[in-house]
Amino acid sequence: MSILARLKGLSFSQLFKLAGLFVQNPGYVFLTAKASKKALSIATKYYGNTHHKSNKANAFRHAVWNVLLGQAVYKKTQSLRQAQDWAQRFTDLHEELFVNRKMDRVMDLHNNAFGIQALRMFANRPEAEAIHFLREAAENAIAIASPAEAENHQNKLVYIPKS
C-alpha cells in the first residue's frame, strides 16, 4: 500500500498526531517519506509481496525501515541518538495509528527495536552492508507464539509462524 493511500485512511485525530510529530521535526518529513518508500521497495525486491504477512520477510521490512530512517537522520544530524530517537518515535506512532492484532504489534515493535539497535553498527556504513546483515538476521529469525517469547530473543528478529 502506498504512503499516500495509508495517509488517506487516517482519521482527523490520527493525522493530527502525525502532523504534531512532524511539526516538531519538519526537516524529517521528506527524509522519512523517502526512507519509508525505500524500505518497502527493498523488501519487495527481496521478498515480493510476502513482506505484508507476519513472516520473516515482514521482520526484515521492519528492521530495514528503522535502519533507513535512522541513516537518513544520521546523515542530516551526525547524531546517533537523534537518529535512533526519530526511528523509534516515528515507528512507534505508526504502530499506534495502524492497529494490528496483539501478536502482530508485539512482532512489529520487537523488530523495529532490533533495527534501531542495528543502527549502532550501520548509521554511517553503506546501505548494502545493513541490508546484507538484516537479510541474514531475517533468515535466522525466531518463531514466536507469545509476547514473552519475543522478550526472550532481544537480539534476534522474530516472526509469527502460520497457524
pTM of the model: 0.92
**Which pLDDT belongs to residue 136?**
99
Among 111, 98, 110, which Cα is nearest to 147's? 110
Q: Residue 111 — pLDDT band, cuts 50, 70, 90? A: very high
Q: Residue 6 — pLDDT band, cuts 50, 70, 90? A: confident
For helices 80-97 and 12-24, what crossing angle results, to 10°? 180
Q: What's the rounded Cα separation, in Å, for the pair 162 and 105?
A: 16
Q: Residue 1 — pLDDT band, cuts 50, 70, 90? A: low
Task: Name the residue type at position 151.
Answer: E
Q: What's the rounded Cα separation, in Å, for the pair 69 and 138?
A: 19
